[in-house]
Chain A
Amino acid sequence: MVQISIEHLTKNYGTLVALNNVSLKIESGEVFGLLGPNGAGKSTLLKTLVGILRPTSGTIKLDEIEIVASPEKAKSIIGYLPENPSLYTGLTTLEFLQFVGKIRGVADDLLDREISDSLKSFSLEDKRNSLIGSLSKGMKQKVALIATNLHNPQVLVLDEPLTALDPRTRVSVKDWIGSQTKRGVTTILSTHDLDVAQSHAGRIAIIDHGKIVAVDNIEGLRKMANAKSDAQLEDVFLRLTEEQA
């Protein structure tokens, strides 16, 4: 169980301010939703959080582990799924998962078992010897999700995990996210799918132009947006981001 503390995080790309003094605290075991229009800074925030990007200023801590100071230590407890995960298409599903397991330090015995169980739960057993290049988009997404979780991370960072998936795959991915929540994993979920955010996330942050516009649970966000008590998250989101604009 890991708590995430983000303090005064700023990320610039040249003159472009992608993240502007972002501060967040995500409790251990919490599922935290991240919403925002295209180009708001969601992916930059997540990439900075997992150590792919270096912050211009500010700090990110996973419990006491500071991501810039101890990137290897932090990365060993994070599972990251990018928005468009690109995989080694020339490897088979099994080879890819074995490779990822190895670079994430999973013990051999555990790795075999973990891969078999995961392939089974995602109904990919018959694809273990198929080249990834021959899999459908949905199957590739499932493989990427398995890879994200092979080392049983304590923090999951998922960037648009449901993009362009067919309904059946969406259901299985949603179920998977639910199962991780039960396991007590701290999860950050960036999504355009407001239903998923509403149903899975305890608290939601709305980010726009690199700034956090609002953070709260759905009821709190409704209040902030002066929306009705039964207003859908979509309404709330539109009101809050319009105000910001």
Chain B
Amino acid sequence: MYSCDSPRNRLKIRLGDLPLSLGTVGVLVRYWIKGRFTRATIASLVVGEAFSVIFVLFGSSTYLSFSNKVGLTTGLSEVAGSLILALYIVGLIQSGFNGSGLPVSSSDVDYVFTSPVPPGDVFAAKVLLNSLTTVLFGFPPILVLYLRFSSYYHTGALVAFLAGAVTLMFFVIGLLLSADITLSLGRGIGERRKPLRNFFIILVLVISLLPITLLISEVPGAVAEAARILPNGLAATISVGLVSGTPGTINYLTDLVLLVAWLVGFLVLGIRLSRGHFYEVLEVSVPGVEKFDKPDQTSRLNPRGRSLWSVVRAKERILISRTREARALFINAMFLSGFLVIYALSGSFQSSPTSFLFILFIIGSFGSGTASRWIEKERLWILKSSPVSMRRYVKEVFRARIAPLLFYLTPVTVAVGVPLVLSQLGQPSLLLGVVLALPGALEIAAITMAGGMYFASRYGQSSNDDILSSQAQELADIRRFLFQTVINLIIVSPVIVLVLVSQSLATSVGSGNLPELAGGLVLASVVFTGFSINLLLNRAGDAVRRREDL
């Protein structure tokens, strides 16, 4: 007998014409918390939390001192905040389209989905738990971030607290959006509706990319306004405005009301979408349960006459093309190309060539995140019981999975860089920086992606991740991402330093020896990059070979 009908659980609310049983939602949330937060998990999360706080302190202080040094007196801007939050939203949209908008584990499938609990209650419980954990674990580093900025602007701790709360509300909106997108992915929608679905995907992406257009100074006012009323625009306006002491109480209240409207809107939409049976669209992180629209395919591997490593690369490409990963990569490519084109149009590179390095570092970190999601998990027995070299295998996976992104970035870098080189011909001291920044940017992206592979090999792949599945997994991923970003930053720092000191070098050497100096430095940075990538991938291969928890 279904016990959720007890008097205790009869408290029901109506949201979006759907009655929700709060008792059932509470039972589910309690069960998930008990089941997933073991002492070890909590300990690792606390360590991660401490690390995040240190990282945030380090990052924000570095950012502020860098801003002062290069003369950016603003320190923090609403546009920058909006862009950073847009990155988060794009990541969540991608996750939503992958079917991971509502993270589920196999035990959910086996026990919760087979229970008579209404899907709407399951949705509500999932969203509640995800929001709770996001707020709980997201608040300390965000508060520290805003406290650091509020001390810079002398605006006080209360303001930092309010700004943090608004940013967290935005995070919850992002989670709801991601969940809604996943719920909207009805399987078997038919060929005729697929173009509509694809149009919807593109529309959502375009809208999410809108804030990036704010980098263009001549952007029409209507676009800027439209970008401002998106959740990330509103959250950035309120949080950054509050922390930096921008006056305008009424405006903040209006923006806050709009932000709450987004939250309620996505929540109601999600609850309405969850009325039907949505379980089959969720991605469960268990090998062997992927769903494919077409069970029969033409074999494309064709190993005859090909080398072993060419077959390994072909295998990776086939796997990517047949799974939802292809869609995720497409979204990445769309986002990155849009970002770079708009960045080039904005003229930011012309005013500060070194900023290109940081932009590419962000992109590299994005790629690094993609690399760090490389997962073979239980399938590694096939390789580990074979005579293949794991070092070489990891390198080939890097070539097949990650290198295309670099090839994709190369023409964009050339397109951005050539006009700039031509414009700087009259200023040899600046030209050296540009000449170093362009290949340097690609080198940074390549190294960070190799770093992503190393972290995937060293810390990913493990079935331990399944223990942390669902909301805790998301948090673990974020911490791993932050950790690898710091390590990557250290590894690429010689390339960045080279560009930063180029102007002084050029002045001291003199314009006569500039070509030789430029050639030598580019060669040195290329050699360093090659060495770093080789080292990271060798370490990655060794890490997989040595691991015993796979």
Contact = CB atoms under 8 A, between A and B. Distances in A.
Contact of B292 (A53, A131, A147): A131
Contacts of A104: 386-387
Contact of A52 (B290, B305, B385, B387): B385
Interface residues of A, number: 44
A82 B381 contact: yes
A52 B384 contact: yes
Given A101-B303, A131-B322, A89 B287 contact: yes
Interface in B64-105: none
A116 interface: no
Contact of B323 (A54, A71, A90): A90
B295 A131 contact: yes
Contacts of B319: 88, 90-91
Contacts of A92: 296-297, 299
A99 B311 contact: yes
A69 interface: no
Interface in B365-419: 377-379, 381-389
Contacts, number: 121
Interface string A36-69: 0000000000000011111000000000000000
Contact of A75 (B295, B298, B387): B387
Secondary structure at chain B's binding surface: helix, strand, loop or mixed?
loop
Contacts of A95: 299-301, 315, 318
B291 interface: yes
Contact of A86 (B287, B323, B384): B287
Contact of A13 (B291, B295, B548): B548
Contacts of A181: none
A26 interface: no
A194 interface: no
B303 A86 contact: no
A177 interface: no
A129 B299 contact: yes
Nearest to B307: A102
Nearest to B548: A53
Contacts of A129: 296-299
Contact of B387 (A101, A105, A128): A105
B299 A78 contact: no
Residue among A13, A78, A88 with the highest chain B CB neighbour number at 10 A: A88
A86 B301 contact: no
B385 A75 contact: yes
A80 B387 contact: no
Contact of B308 (A73, A87, A102): A102
Interface of B: 287-292, 294-305, 308, 311-312, 315, 318-319, 322-323, 377-379, 381-389, 546, 548
20 contacts: A51-B385, A71-B387, A75-B385, A80-B381, A80-B385, A94-B299, A95-B300, A95-B315, A98-B299, A98-B303, A99-B311, A100-B386, A102-B312, A103-B383, A103-B388, A129-B298, A130-B296, A131-B322, A133-B295, A140-B288
Closest 6 CB pairs of A and B: A134-B295, A86-B378, A72-B387, A95-B301, A80-B385, A90-B322
Interface of A: 13, 50-54, 71-73, 75-76, 78, 80, 82, 84-92, 94-95, 98-105, 108, 111-112, 128-131, 133-134, 140, 147
